[in-house]
Amino acid sequence: MDGNVDVKRGERVVRPPPSPGEGSRLGDWETAYARYREDPEGFWAAVAGELEWFRPWDRVREWRHPYARWFVNGALNITHNCLDRHASGDHRNKVALIWRGEEEGDEQVLTYRQLHREVMRFANALKNLGVGKGDTVCIYMPLVPEQIVAMLACARIGAVHSIVFGGFGASALHARIRDAKAKIIVTADVGYRRGKRVALKTIVDEAVVNAPSVERIIVLRRTRPELELYSELEVDYEECMAAADAFCPPEVMDAEDPLFILYTSGTTGTPKGIVHTCGGYMVGAYYTSQYVFDMRENDVYWCTADPGWITGHSYIVYGPLAAGATVLITETVPDHPDPGVWWRIIEDFGVTIFYTAPTAIRMFMKFGEEWPKRSSLDSLRLIGSVGEPLNPEAFEWYYRVIGGSACPVLDTWWQTETGMHMITTLAGEPMKPGFAGRPIPGVAADVVDREGNPVQPGVGGLLVITEPWPAMMRAVHNNDERYRQYWTTVNGYYTAGDLAVKDEDGYIMVLGRADDIIIVAGHNLGTAEVESALVSHEAVAEAAVIGIPDALKGQAVKAFVILRLGHAPSEKLKSDLVYHVRMSIGPIAMPSAIEFVESLPKTRSGKIMRRVLKAQEMGIDPGDISTLEE
Ligand code: 6R9
């Protein structure tokens, strides 16, 4: 451990060594935040002004609660900013995308000029199939450059993309195709996962039954001999590329035209189609990529998400490309062929900015430090996390073992609905393990009670966003009622559905989803709090806790625990863990039952599905489990 520190939640402040650049170009948080508060519209206008517009906006924002319009009457095309802007200037030969397949040496590199051309060609291919502005295209692909080309090609011609992560099964895909009324599906014959083929096309075949909106299926054929296409519905990716013109001008889009629909990861309830629009989303994704990730000319940036998640939309594709970055993508999983593969990739490509999820970090902790130690990770200068609370143990490990105690750790809190980073600790600012940080300049967030009154530091409450922001979702597809709920539950604020607590400095610690709260003898416990305490025990790799009925206390805590390698389950260990939680949080949080497990039910984006554990425990129906990983 770094300097013998105590890593209980929020008890330590890590002052990062100044980053190898000059620190965040936003300046210090206080000054930048004050600049935003003085003139929110001016602040965002300045950011938007760094991008190119076909027509300037008349007003920065129009807010008719709960409906917002940003950059009113502005006209743009996001791909013009992600591609043409770089491909026409002296950046044309800069590498835009590096793809690394499962096998070492299996690589593909596209410069901005090349990516631009691929996108224009595929945009024309879509047009040739009758796709136009406002049509919906469903993209169901593995993590290959063509997935990104397809996305950008839609945006080029004003078609709305709905990406469905390649790990979803037929019924989840079917539901999303139907809800979005997709006209075209872009898919591949297979994806590769752990050296095995995943037959995506077969899943599409099943999913399009009884989906009358679908007119064509474009298939990228990766295997040889080529998969046979057996109906006139199906067309070959390469063939339609070959038949398409090379030049496709960007469609002129209104700032408020829809850019994409993305169904949320659905840790709870049925998936919702979140709708984002062109202008505000572009500005938000660009701003945070440029300034939160502090993107520099020579950065090699790697976000380990899939474009099928919002993290991939905003921080693999739109944000980093708008910022002109070199983006690495890979089809590899973190532990195949061994848990060293990702660290070898960092060394091999000289990755400077690395963005991953707590679930991956905790998995690497389980495998041990030997793996990252075998590679040089010296190129890294900034490391980030997203998706779940980054508990202090994981923070410390990530900071020390991966960041070499020299990189800012950006624990970024945000959502599919927010479109962009909302809360984090900017590079160069003091970091507090367990705390995501403060709202970034441009964002107004708070922790409040049910009536909307700010709670005192140290008291738990609801995480809300009090002012609209450019990349906010504009609608829930076909469900205005659900959209309005976000803004009408607590005092007209945007309610994120997360519980949080603030400290005296305004740092926010996210405790978990509000629906994951456990009430033990009248005390509210966030699942993340108890899980974090468990994970801080040396034997524990990962933990999930749920509330189970208790005659005396209303609810009691039950914990599911995955042990680190080298630790065996025992009754003694159980009582050690109970004691450990007692000492960390207090008697109220002591688990009344502990079960050692090999794995935990997770969404395909890596979030623990406590709802499923609970249903198993109670012998009830878990509800919609389309997002559950097998
Ligand atoms: C980007 C993304 C959103 C939910 C969100 C919260 C959890 C995300 C977090 C975090 C604590 C962080 N979450 N980042 N919790 N600390 N840094 O994950 O979007 O899939 O829509 O999930 O994820 O509970 O409400 P999405």
pLDDT, tens digit (0-9, with 9 covering 90-100), for 147-175: 999 999 999 999 999 999 988 888 889 98
Over residues 38-57, the mean pLDDT reads 98
For position 7, what pLDDT does the model report?
36
Over residues 430-439, the mean pLDDT reads 95
Alpha helices in 459-550 (DSSP H): 480-488, 527-535
Task: Lowest mean pLDDT of 279-288, 316-325, 390-399, name the range.
Answer: 390-399
The encoded tokens of residue 539 equal: 């034997």
For position 384, what pLDDT does the model report?
98
Ligand 1 in reach of 413 Cβ (< 6 A): yes
Amino acid (1-letter code) at residue 276 = H
**pLDDT for 21 beyond 50:** no
Over residues 199-220, the mean pLDDT reads 96
**pLDDT for 351 beyond 80:** yes
Over residues 193-211, the mean pLDDT reads 93
**pLDDT for 466 beyond 50:** yes
Ligand 1 in reach of 435 Cβ (< 6 A): no
For position 324, what pLDDT does the model report?
97
**DSSP readout, 253-289?**
EETTSEEEEEE---SSSS--EEEEEHHHHHHHHHHII
Ligand 1 in reach of 412 Cβ (< 6 A): yes
Cβ 382 vs Cβ 408: under 8 Å:
yes
Residue in 436, 507, 502, 439 with CA at minimum distance from that of residue 467: 439
The encoded tokens of residue 170 equal: 């037929």
For position 18, what pLDDT does the model report?
52
**pLDDT for 15 beyond 80:** no
Q: Which of 265, 276, 356, 388 to mutate to test the pocket of ligand 1 (most atoms within 8 A of CB)?
A: 388
Over residues 204-228, the mean pLDDT reads 96
Indicate the SS3 state at residue 440. coil
**pLDDT for 16 beyond 80:** no
16 vs 429: CA distance, rounded Å: 7
pLDDT-derived band at 512 (thresholds 50, 70, 90) equals: confident
Over residues 555-562, the mean pLDDT reads 93
pLDDT-derived band at 3 (thresholds 50, 70, 90) equals: very low
Over residues 188-200, the mean pLDDT reads 93
The encoded tokens of residue 532 equal: 């974090």
d(CA 513, ligand 1 centre) in Å? 9
For position 171, what pLDDT does the model report?
83
Architecture of domain 517-618: 2-Layer Sandwich (3.30)
For position 167, what pLDDT does the model report?
83
Q: Which of 498, 508, 604 to mutate to test the pocket of ligand 1 (most atoms within 8 A of CB)?
A: 498
pLDDT-derived band at 203 (thresholds 50, 70, 90) equals: very high
182 vs 162: CA distance, rounded Å: 8
d(CA 501, ligand 1 centre) in Å? 15
327 vs 453: CA distance, rounded Å: 42
200 vs 188: CA distance, rounded Å: 6
**DSSP readout, 221-260?**
--SSSPPPP-STTEEEHHHHHHTS-S--PPP-EETTSEEE
Q: Can you tell me which residue has the tokens 């014959």?
A: 189
Over residues 349-372, the mean pLDDT reads 94
378 vs 428: CA distance, rounded Å: 18
pLDDT-derived band at 445 (thresholds 50, 70, 90) equals: very high
Q: Which of 386, 412, 507 to mutate to test the pocket of ligand 1 (most atoms within 8 A of CB)?
A: 386
Ligand 1 in reach of 510 Cβ (< 6 A): yes
508 vs 520: CA distance, rounded Å: 23
Tell me whether residue 49 is exposed, middle or buried, using C-beta atoms within 10 angstroms of its C-beta: 0 to 12, 13 to 18, 19 or more: exposed
Task: Lowest mean pLDDT of 38-42, 372-376, 385-389, name the range.
Answer: 385-389
Cβ 309 vs Cβ 317: under 8 Å:
no
Q: Can you tell me which residue has the tokens 């520099």?
A: 296
Round the average pLDDT of the chain to a whole number and report it: 92
The encoded tokens of residue 101 equal: 């397949």
Q: What is the CA radius of gyration of the chain?
A: 24
Residue 72: Cβ within 10 Å count: 15
d(CA 394, ligand 1 centre) in Å? 16
Chain centroid to CA 372 = 23
221 vs 200: CA distance, rounded Å: 11
Over residues 329-357, the mean pLDDT reads 96
pLDDT-derived band at 23 (thresholds 50, 70, 90) equals: low
Task: Lowest mean pLDDT of 10-19, 184-193, 525-534, 589-598, name the range.
Answer: 10-19
The encoded tokens of residue 30 equal: 């206080």
Tell me whether residue 181 is exposed, middle or buried, using C-beta atoms within 10 angstroms of its C-beta: 0 to 12, 13 to 18, 19 or more: middle
Length, in residues, of the chain: 630
Q: Which residue has the higher pLDDT, 195 or 33?
A: 33
Q: Where in the chain is the domain with CATH 3.30.300.30?
A: 517-618
447 vs 462: CA distance, rounded Å: 5
The encoded tokens of residue 202 equal: 């077969």
**Interface confidence (ipTM) of the complex:** 1.00
**pLDDT for 287 beyond 60:** yes
Task: Lowest mean pLDDT of 138-142, 281-285, 317-321, 535-539, name the range.
Answer: 535-539
Cβ 400 vs Cβ 365: under 8 Å:
no
Fold adopted by 39-333: Rossmann fold (3.40.50)
* Secondary structure letter of residue 95 according to DSSP: E
d(CA 84, ligand 1 centre) in Å? 32
Over residues 445-460, the mean pLDDT reads 93
d(CA 356, ligand 1 centre) in Å? 12
pLDDT-derived band at 275 (thresholds 50, 70, 90) equals: very high
Percent with pLDDT over 90 in the chain: 77
pLDDT-derived band at 604 (thresholds 50, 70, 90) equals: confident
444 vs 424: CA distance, rounded Å: 13
The encoded tokens of residue 412 equal: 């970024």
For position 265, what pLDDT does the model report?
58
255 vs 279: CA distance, rounded Å: 4
Q: Where in the chain is the domain with CATH 3.40.50.12780?
A: 39-333
Indicate the SS3 state at residue 100. strand
Beta bridge partners of 274: 262, 476
Give the ligand 1 atom nearest the CA of 510: 11
pLDDT-derived band at 282 (thresholds 50, 70, 90) equals: very high
For position 114, what pLDDT does the model report?
98
**DSSP readout, 402-436?**
ITTT-S-EEE-B--TTT-S--EE--TTSPB-TT--
For 10: left if phi > 0, alpha if psi spans -120 to 50, otherwise beta; the answer is: left
Question: φ and ψ at 616, to 5 degrees?
Answer: -60, -45
Give the ligand 1 atom nearest the CA of 497: 25
Cβ 563 vs Cβ 586: under 8 Å:
no
Beta bridge partners of 563: 540
pLDDT tens per residue across span 224-257: 999 999 888 999 999 999 999 999 999 999 999 9
Indicate the SS3 state at residue 116. helix
Give the ligand 1 atom nearest the CA of 385: 17
For position 25, what pLDDT does the model report?
82
Buried-state track 145-156, b at ≥16 Cβ within 10 A, e below 16: bbbbbbbbbbbb
Contacts 24+ apart (CB under 8 A), 99-102: 99/144, 99/145, 99/328, 99/329, 99/330, 99/331, 100/328, 100/329, 100/330, 100/331, 100/332, 100/345, 100/349, 101/192, 101/330, 101/331, 101/332, 102/192, 102/195, 102/331, 102/332, 102/336
Over residues 280-291, the mean pLDDT reads 98
Amino acid (1-letter code) at residue 312 = G
Ligand 1 in reach of 274 Cβ (< 6 A): no
